[in-house]
Amino acid sequence: MVVIKKQDELVWKKRTTREQWINWFYWLIGISIVLFAWKIISDKTVWFFVQDAPRQAADIGSRMVPPKWSYSLELIKPVWDTINIATLGTVIAMIIAVPVAFCAARNTTPHSTVRIVALFIIVASRSVNSLIWALMLVFILGPGVLAGTVAIGLRSIGFCAKLIYESIEEIDANQVEAVKATGASNLQQMIYGIIPQVLPTIAGVGIYRWDINIRESTILGLVGAGGIGLQLNGSINTLAWTQVSTILLVILATVFVSEWVSAKVRGAII
Amino acid sequence: MLKLENLTKRYNTGDLALQGIDLSIPNGQVLALIGPSGAGKSTLIRCINRLVEPTNGSAILNEVNLTKLSSRALRKSRRKMGMIFQEYALVERLTVMENVLSGRLGYVGFWKSFLRRFPKKDVNEAFRLLDRVGLLEMADKRADELSGGQRQRVGICRALIQDPDLLLVDEPTASLDPKTSRQIMRLINELCQERGLTAIINIHDVLLAQMFSQRIVGLALGNIVYDGSPEGLTPEVLTKIYGEEDWSATIEKVDDEDAEV
C-alpha cells in the first residue's frame, strides 16, 4: 500500500510502480514455465493415438452397451464384501485414531515424546495409499477380504486422527478450566470438559471416512485384497465389456447409497 | 479466613501481573475487586485456586497453604473453592443437570462420574439449588439452549454444589444486560449471606460493586491501590485506580431504593 502526495492531493495505490513491474515479471516467468512444460508434454505424446481416441472410446462404449444385467446377481457377494471392508476398516481405524489423536493434540498429550510418536503414526499412515497398503498386505496376510480391511484401516488412522486432533486443539479451554476448578482429576476433565466438545467431530470424521472408504475399497480387488475390484479386474482382462459396464453401474449405485446414508447420519449428529 | 501474602505472578512473557499482593479476608466477607483491564484481577483469583501458578508468595485458606500443595492435595482443596466465570464456562453440549453435578467431580470417583451415577444426596442437592435459582424445569435442557442469565445461574449452582468455603467470581456480569447483571449480583450476594460464604468478586461495574459488596479493593498494574468501604470510592480514588476521567456520573449516591430494584 502506498500513499503518494501529489500537490495537495493524497493518492492511494495498492503497489508502487516498482512493485508493479516486479509483479508483472513474476507473471511472465510463471506463464513461460507453463508453456515450456506444455511443449515437453506435447513433444512426448504420440498424436496418432490421441487423434484416434474418440473412435476408440466410441468403440469401447458401444461394446459396453447393453450392460449384462444378469451378471449383477453375481456381484451381490463382492459388493457386500466391499461394504464390509469399508465399514470394518473404518471401525478399526477409529478405535486406534481417537487415542492417537488425544496423544497428538498439544493440549491433551501426556508428554511431548508421546506427541512425536503419535504425529509419526499419523504421517506414516497418511503417506501410504490404501492400494499400496493392500499390495503389501496381500503378501503378508494372503489375498482376500482381511488384507483389504486392514489396508483400509491402516490408511484411515492418520486421516481420522489428524482431523480429530486438530479439533481437540481448537476446543474452548474455558469449559475445561471450569471443570478443573471443581477439583476434577485429569481423566474427569477429559470426559466432562473435552469429550463433549469433540464428540460431534469424532462422529462426523468417522462417517466421512466411511464414505471415502466405500469408494477406496472398490479398487482394492485390483491387487487381490477382496471386494468388487477383483471382478472388475477380471472383466477388463477378459475384455468382457458388458460386465465392466455392469460393475461400474453397481459401484455408482453403491457410492450413491453411501453418500445418502452419510449425509443423513451427519445431519442427525450436528 | 483467606490470607494472601506477597502473592506475585510473572508470566513467561515477562509481564509482572501481580506485584506482591498482601490481603486478608475474614470469613463471610464479600469483597469486590475492581480495576482496569489488565490490572491482574483475573490472575489474582486464579492464583488462589492455582488455575494460574503464582511465581511467589502464598495463599492461605483456613490454615492450608494452597501454594505448597501437591497436585492431589490441591484437587482436594479446590473442592472447597467454587468458581464462577465471565462467559459462564458451562460445558455447552452437556445438560444443565450434568453441568451442575460436574461441581461434585472432586468428590465422586471416575467411573461413577463417567456413568453419571452421582450419589442420591448430590442429585437432590442439585435439584434444590436449581429450584433456588428458578431453573428447576430446565434441568434436562442442554446448556447451549439457555439465555445468558440462565447460564450464569447454572454456573452459580455448579459452584455452590461443591459446598465451598470460598467463592471466586470472575466478572460474573460482563456478558449480561444491566437488569440481569443486577439480578445475578443480588443472587450471588444473597447466597453468600445464606451460607456465610467468603467471596472475591472481580467486577468492572463500579456501581454494582458498591451496591453488592461490603469491601472494595482497587487493583492497578498488579498493586492494591485502594482497600476500604464502598462509600470511600471518591473521584480521587477512582482516578488512582483507573486513571484520569470524569467520575461524577459513576459515583452517584447508592441509596437503598436503588438497591431494591
* pLDDT one-digit tens code per residue, A48-75: 888 888 888 898 888 888 888 888 888 8
B155, closest residue in chain A (CA to CA): A178
Is A196 within 8 Å of chain B by CB? yes
pLDDT of residue B259: 44
The answer to whether residues A85 and A14 belong to one domain is no
Which chain B residues contact residue A181 at CB under 8 A? 49, 51, 78, 81, 83, 168
- Using CA coordinates, name the residue in chain B closest to A172: B89
In this complex, which of A182, A187, A196 lies closest to B106 when CB atoms are compared? Answer: A182
Name the percent of chain A lying above pLDDT 90: 47
Is pLDDT at A194 greater than 90 in this prediction? yes
Angle at which helix A76-104 crosses helix A112-127, to 10 degrees, equals: 150
Rounded to 5 degrees, φ, ψ at B56 are -155, 165
H or E stretch covering A240: none
Task: Give CA A224 to chain center in angstroms.
Answer: 21
Query: Is A177 close to B75, i.e. CB distance below 8 A?
Result: no
A49 in any annotated domain: no
Q: Is the pLDDT of residue A150 over 90?
A: yes
The DSSP code sequence of B139-192 is TTSBGGGS-HHHHHHHHHHHHHTT--SEEEEE-TTTTS-HHHHHHHHHHHHHHH
> Cβ–Cβ of A179/B91 closer than 8 Å?
yes
Share of chain A above pLDDT 70, in %: 99
In this structure, are A218 and A160 located in the same domain?
yes
Domain span holding position A231: 76-269
Q: Is residue A52 part of a domain?
A: no
Residue with cell 467431580: B105
* Inside any domain, residue A85: yes
> Do A31 and A100 belong to one domain?
no
Taking the C-alpha atoms of residue A200 and residue A15, their distance in angstroms, rounded to an integer, is: 45
Per DSSP, the three-state class of B4 is strand
Question: Cβ A183–B76 below 8 Å, yes or no?
Answer: yes
**Do residues A8 and A109 both lie within one domain?**
no
Contact by Cβ (8 Å): A220, A232: no
* Contact between B105 and A187 using a beta-carbon 8 Å cutoff: no
Which residue has cell 447420519?
Answer: A265
How many other CB atoms are there within 10 angstroms of residue A181's CB atom? Answer: 27
| A237 lies in the same domain as A175 | yes
Q: Is residue A71 part of a domain?
A: no
Residues 6+ apart with CB under 8 A from A215: A255, A258
Instruction: Give me the phi and psi of B108, to 5 degrees please.
Output: -110, 145
Q: Which whole-number Å values give the CA distances from B163 to A128, B103, B110, B211, in the listed order?
A: 55, 9, 20, 25
Tell me how far apart the terminal alpha carbons of chain A are, to the nearest angstrom: 43
Which CATH number does the domain housing residue A261 bear?
Answer: 1.10.3720.10
* DSSP-H helix ranges across A182-240: 186-189, 195-217, 229-237
Mean local confidence (pLDDT), B56-76:
91
For cell 459388493, the residue is A79
Examine residue A48 and state whether it is found in any structural domain, yes or no: no
Nearest chain A residue to B49 by CA distance is: A181
| pLDDT score of B258 | 46
> Does residue A186 sit at the B interface (CB-CB below 8 Å)?
no
| Inter-chain touch B89–A184, beta carbons under 8 Å | no
Best CA proximity match to A160, nearest among A221, A106, A108, A91: A91
Identify the band that residue B253 occupies on the pLDDT scale cut at 50, 70 and 90.
Answer: low
Residue range A178-189, pLDDT digits in tens: 999 999 999 999
Is the Cα torsion angle A180, A182, A187, A190 positive or negative in sign?
Answer: negative
Q: Is residue A69 part of a domain?
A: no
A174 CB contacts (<8 Å, ≥6 apart)?
A: B85, B87, B89
pLDDT digits (tens, 9 = 90+) for B189-230: 999 998 999 999 999 888 899 988 999 999 998 899 999 998
Cβ pairs A/B, distance under 8 A? 79
The yes/no answer to whether this complex scores an ipTM above 0.90 is no
Pair A4, A115 in one domain: no
Claim to verify: residue A133 and residue A25 sit in the same structural domain: no
Quick check: helix, strand or coil at residue A207? helix
A222 with A155, same domain: the answer is yes
Cβ–Cβ of A175/B113 closer than 8 Å?
no
Structural domains in chain A (count): 2
- pLDDT tens, residue by residue, A5-55: 778 888 888 888 888 999 999 999 999 999 999 999 998 888 888 888 888
Helix (H) or strand (E) holding B19: strand B16-25
Specify if A58 maps to a domain. no
pTM of the entire predicted model: 0.80
CA distance A94 to chain B (A): 21
The answer to whether the CB atoms of A181 and B78 lie below 8 A apart is yes
Q: How many CB atoms lie within 10 A of CB B197?
A: 21
Q: Let me know the angle formed at the C-alpha of B112 by B106 and B114, rounded to the nearest 5 degrees.
A: 90
Q: Which residue has the cell 473435552?
A: A194
What does each C-alpha distance from A250 to A63, A223, A227, A247, B168 come to in angstroms?
A: 18, 20, 12, 5, 64
Chain B contact probe: residue of A172, A177, A182, A197 with most B CBs at under 10 A? A182
Q: Considering the domain boundaries, does residue A25 fall inside one?
A: yes
